[in-house]
Amino acid sequence: MQLRPKRNLWRVIVPTALLATFVVAGRSEQYSKSDRELADAMLQNAADDVRKHYYDPKFHGIDWEARVQEAKAKVDAATSLNIAMSDIANLLGTLNDSHTYFVPPPLSHVHDYGFQIEMIGNHCYVVRVRHGSDAEKKGLRPGNEIQAINENPISRQNFSKLVYILNVLRPQTSLRLTLADEAGHPRQLEVTTTFKLSPVNKYFMQQKSNYIRLDAQDELNLLKARYFEQGKELLVVKIPAFAFSQSGVDDIIAKMRSHQSVILDLRGNAGGYSLTLDYLLGGIFENDLKIYDRVRRESTKPVTVKGRHQTAFTGRLVVLIDSESASASEVFARVIQLEKRGIVLGDRSSGRVMEAKHYRHQLDSLSVFSYGLSVTEADLVMTDGVSLEHGGVGPDVAVLPTPADLANKLDPVLTKAAELVGVKISPEEAGKILPYEENEQFNAPLSLND
């Protein structure tokens, strides 16, 4: 399989009550006959794809056919295409599966809320604010705690639901934020969203082929490994996603082997390809090892990786994870723990660990735009007999940035990791190592693909 980056999305557990609190932006609310026919086709295709390919033929005890009929009644009664698509998303959400979700047709406009949020421990914090955004002008700052968005309280349990709604199903023209002040008291702040015509639509409207090429190159640049070296003592490797070919992984391992200690930074890494995971794990073990059982609809098979023997990296290893680490990055961290190969440090990971395949459908026979869904085709059961889905990976050493750390661009997590391998880096210095790329997309992770 060619390794091509895919921007997948998070867990689709979208209660109708939660969806109802969000207005729709970016799509027309007119509901024509053709829209109704499209909604019916999308529902049917989604139901069929799950029916044929979902890894658990019993659907976790859910009466899938009954749920499909309930969804059809809602879609038939919907007053807009957006509401109908929300009903389809909600149907898939009943499976409570992080890798089974609906991908609606593309919006005519792309949006930028001007800030990024992240769960740190059990609290939601602003981690970045875009310069010049309305959020910045209104006084939003890194380190601010957000208790609710549009009156919906935020927790680890519903964070991904909100992200999915806000970024995919129902982008908002503005957001009403409930912030906690220093004393923990709530205060309200409303920020306006920036919208612009999507590059794909520009391409078709203006017939300039360089738009798509530029977008693809931006994606590839964001997925490159980045490095920081401190002599032969330490190498820090930032891996944004598991989207490397075997030769790409070979380059990473070769660079690791020239250092005594490596900090592998998987914070924000939301997964990627199982082959990349296999190559990278094999590069840090001398011998072959089993990493998990792949549980499919028809069979359960052990999955092993081939160790590199004399060419493996055998030095000290620390793996960094956070609440955004998902899928392949979680499997990697857990294997490190189970095999006692290194130290896992940071925050508990997201608990979104399955293997999925994407099924794409065209809007019609002439359309270049498409919609589709991701369907889980395998659960992964680790060698201790436990699936990471929903539970995630608990770090060996928990280190959480404070609001002051976020506000001052400090990185105590990297500082602690360096300390564990005998290298001194101050939080101020650590915060300047491998800085965040300004054009990285807000909360749009990858998933583990077979």
Reported as a single tens digit per residue, the pLDDT across 336-353 is: 999 999 999 999 999 999
**What's the pLDDT score for residue 201?**
67
Which of 10-14, 92-96, 412-416 shows the lowest per-residue confidence on average (mean pLDDT)?
A: 10-14
Reported as a single tens digit per residue, the pLDDT across 49-71 is: 999 999 999 999 999 999 999 99
Helix, coil or strand: residue 89: helix
Reported as a single tens digit per residue, the pLDDT across 250-267 is: 999 999 999 999 999 999
DSSP character string of 296-313: -SS-EEEEEE---GGGS-
**What's the pLDDT score for residue 139?**
95
- pTM of the model as a whole: 0.89
Which of 13-27, 82-96, 155-169, 407-421 shows the lowest per-residue confidence on average (mean pLDDT)?
A: 13-27
**Chain centre distance of CA 112:** 17
Share of the chain above pLDDT 70, in %: 85
CA neighbor of 236 nearest in space, from 257, 262, 259: 262
210: confidence class by pLDDT, cuts 50, 70, 90: low
Check whether 93 has a pLDDT greater than 70. yes
In angstroms, the CA 124 to CA 65 distance is 37
Q: Is residue 371 within 8 Å of 361, Cβ to Cβ?
A: yes
In angstroms, the CA 285 to CA 402 distance is 35
**What's the pLDDT score for residue 330?**
98
**What's the pLDDT score for residue 279?**
96
**What's the pLDDT score for residue 4?**
27
Check whether 211 has a pLDDT greater than 70. no
Q: Is residue 446 within 8 Å of 270, Cβ to Cβ?
A: yes
The residues with which 374 forms a beta bridge, in sequence order, are: 101, 358
Tell me what the mean pLDDT of segment 106-117 comes to.
89
181: confidence class by pLDDT, cuts 50, 70, 90: confident
**What's the pLDDT score for residue 399?**
98
316 or 18, which is more confident: 316
Sign of the dihedral defined by the CA atoms of residues 427, 430, 432, 438, in that order: negative
Longest dimension (CA), the chain: 67
Q: Name residue 149's amino acid.
A: I
CB atoms within 10 A of CB 368: 9
Q: Give the angle 62-67-73 at the CA atoms, nearest 5°.
A: 170
DSSP character string of 125-175: EEEEE-TTSHHHHTT--TT-EEEEETTEE--TTTHHHHHHIIIII---SEE
Q: Give the angle 320-416-307 at the CA atoms, nearest 5°.
A: 40
CA neighbor of 68 nearest in space, from 84, 38, 46, 97: 46
Share of the chain above pLDDT 90, in %: 75
Which of 176-185, 307-316, 398-407 shows the lowest per-residue confidence on average (mean pLDDT)?
A: 176-185
Check whether 215 has a pLDDT greater than 90. no
SS3 helix, strand, coil % of the chain, rounded to 5? 30, 25, 45
In angstroms, the CA 240 to CA 329 distance is 10
Phi, psi of 113 (to 5 degrees): -75, -15
Reported as a single tens digit per residue, the pLDDT across 7-24 is: 322 222 333 334 444 444
The per-residue b/e assignment along 56-71, b for 16 or more CB within 10 angstroms, e otherwise, is: eeebeeeebeebbeeb
Go through the domains of the chain in sequence order and give each one's CATH number. 111-197 (2.30.42.10), 221-354+381-431 (3.90.226.10)
**What's the pLDDT score for residue 19?**
44
209 or 277, which is more confident: 277
Tell me what the mean pLDDT of segment 65-87 comes to.
95
Strands 186-192, 174-180: pairing is antiparallel
326: confidence class by pLDDT, cuts 50, 70, 90: very high
**What's the pLDDT score for residue 363?**
76
Strands 234-238, 226-230: pairing is antiparallel
